[in-house]
Amino acid sequence: MEKNKIDLDFSLTAVPKTHRSGFWKMLVVMLGFTFFSASMLSGGTLGLGLSLTEFIWIVLAGNLILGAYTGTLAYIAAKTGLSTHLLTRYAFGEKGSYVASLLLSLTQIGWFGVGVAMFAVPVQKVTGLDTNLLIIVSGLLMTATAFFGMKALTILSFIAVPAIVILGGYSASEAAVDLGGIQGLMHYQPSESIGLAAALTICVGSFISGGTLTPDFTRFAKTKKTAVATTVIAFFIGNSLMFIFGAIGAVATGQSDISEVMFLQGLIIPAIIVLGLNIWTTNDNAIYASGLGISNITKIKKSKVVIFNGIVGTIMAMWLYNNFVGFLTVLGAALPPIGAIIIADYFILNRGKYKAFEKVQFKTINWTALIAWGAGVALAKFLPGIPPLNGLIGSALLYVVLSLAVKTFTESKTSTVEMEKVSA
C-alpha cells in the first residue's frame, strides 16, 4: 500500500538515490530529448547558407555552448535531485518560482500542441486519414507516455532513438548520393550566405530554451558524471544529427525535415514512423516538463496535471499550429535566463552547495532574480551580438551583482541599527 502512495515522478521532492538510473538509460532519454524537429529546420537553414566546412564548425561550436549550458544544469540536478521548477525556488523564492514555472509550462504545452499538428498535417496529406482523428490519437498516445513518467519515457526512447537514426540515416545518405556524395557536399556553395554570428545564433537558439528543462530529466541520474556525460554526448550526437539531416535534406530536396525528404523519396511508411517517433520523443518530454511546472504551482501530482495539459494541447493543436508558432518562439527566448540565474545562484552565490530542499525556508519572492531575468530577456532582444549568449551572460552577471549589492546594503543597515542600539 505504501509503495502505491509514493509519487514516482517526485514532482515536489528530490529524487532519492534508490530511484536513480544508470548511464545507458539516461543516454537514450537525453538522445530522445535532443531529437527535435526544429533542430532539423535550423539545420536546413544553415545547410543552405553555409559551406560544408562552415556548417561543421558552426554546429560544433553551437553544440559546445549548448552542451556547456545543459551539462552544467545536469550537474546541479544530479547533485540535488531536483527539477528545474524546484531549483528555481532557491533563486526566485517560492512564489517567484511560480513565474518561471508558468512561463516554462505554457511554452511546453504550446509546443506540444504544435508538435501534434506537425505530425497530423503531413500524415493526412499522404494517407487521407482525418486530421482530427490523427490529432486525437497521437495527442493521447503522447500524453500517455508522459503520464507514466520516466520509465515510459525511457522505453519510448529505447525504441525511437535507433529507429530514427537508422531510417533517417538511410534517407539522408540516399539524398547525399543524389548530390554526388561527400564530394558533392564539399563543393556546395550557398547562393546567399549567412553570417557566422547569425548562424551561431540559429544553432544555439534552436534548443537553448528546451535545454533549460534539462534538470527535469537528469535529476534521475545515479551520479553527477552520468548526468553531465549523457547530456553533453546527447547534444554532440543527437542534436548534431538533427542538424545534419536538416542540412542534407534542404540542399538535396529543399525540405529540412527528414520525414518530408522521405515522403519525396517514396518511403511513406518509414517517413511516418520517423516523423511520429521524432515528434513523440519531443512532445512527451515537453508535456512531462509542463506537468512538473504546474505541479510546482498547484502542488497537485504531476501525473494528474499531465493529463489536463495533454488534453489542452491536443484540443488546441491546430489553432496553435496556425496562429501561435511565432509567439512561442518569442516566449522561448525568455527561458534561458532562468537557467542562467539557477547556475549563478548555485555556483557563485552558494558555492556549489544547496541546503536540503525539505529543510529550506524559501523567500516568498526574490525580486533580485526577477529583475535580473527581465534584464536578461531585454539584453537578448536588443543587444548586438549573439542573443542567446547575451541573455545568459547578462542575466547571470546582473543577478550576482544585484544579489551582492543587496547583501552588502542589508548587512550595513543591520550593523548601523546594532550600533545605534549599543549607543542608546
* More reliable by pLDDT, 182 or 366: 366
Angle, CA of 390, 392 and 396, to the nearest 5°: 115
Question: Which residue shows C-alpha cell 545507458?
Answer: 24
Of 285 and 4, the structure prediction assigns the larger pLDDT to 285
Q: What is the pLDDT averaged over residues 200-225?
A: 92
Q: Judge whether residue 67 has pLDDT over 90.
A: yes
CA 366 – CA 398 distance, rounded (Å): 14
pLDDT of residue 260: 84
Domains for the chain: give ranges and CATH numbers.
7-333 (1.10.4160.10)
| Stretch 46-55: mean pLDDT | 90
Model pLDDT, residue 81: 96
What's the pLDDT band for 18 if we cut at 50, 70, 90? very high
- On the 0-12 / 13-18 / 19+ scale of CB atoms within 10 A, 325 is middle
Q: Taking Cα atoms as reference points, which of 14, 293, 284 lies closest to residue 148?
A: 284
| Strand runs labelled E in 138-261 | none
What are the φ and ψ backbone dihedral angles of 21, each rounded to 5 degrees?
-115, 155
- Residue 7 above 90 pLDDT? no
- pLDDT at residue 367 in the model: 96
pLDDT of 183 reads: 80
CA neighbor of 104 nearest in space, from 75, 84, 82: 84
68, 211 Cβ separation under 8 angstroms: no
pLDDT score at 328: 66
More confident residue, 74 or 302: 74
pLDDT digits 0-9 by tens, 337-389: 999 999 999 999 999 999 999 999 999 999 999 999 999 999 998 888 888 89
| Mean pLDDT (whole number) for 134-162 | 92
HSE-up (13 A, CA, CB side) for residue 402: 19
- Of residues 173 and 416, more confidence is placed in 173
**pLDDT tens digits, residue range 217-238?**
999 999 999 999 999 999 889 8
Contact status, residue 11 vs residue 301, Cβ threshold 8 Å: yes
* Spatial CB neighbours of 380, under 8 Å, sequence gap ≥ 6: 333, 336, 337, 387, 388, 390, 391, 394
pLDDT at 424 exceeding the cut of 60: no
d(CA 89, CA 80): 13
- The per-residue pLDDT for 421 is 63
Burial grade of 383 (CB within 10 A; 0-12, 13-18, 19 or more): middle
Could you read off the pLDDT of 294-339 as tens digits, one per residue? 999 999 888 889 999 999 999 999 998 888 777 767 777 789 999 9
d(CA 269, CA 236): 28
How high is the pLDDT of residue 3? 46
pLDDT at 1: 38
Closest-CA residue to 374 (of 386, 382, 363, 364): 382
The pLDDT of 141-153, averaged and rounded, is 90
Q: For residues 271 and 122, what is the distance between their CA atoms, to the nearest angstrom?
A: 10
Q: Taking a C-beta distance cutoff of 8 angstroms, is the pair 274, 259 a contact?
A: yes
Confidence tier at 6 by pLDDT (50, 70, 90): low
Q: What is the pLDDT of residue 140?
A: 94
HSE-CB at 423 with a 13 A cutoff on CA atoms is 6
Residue-averaged pLDDT of the chain: 89
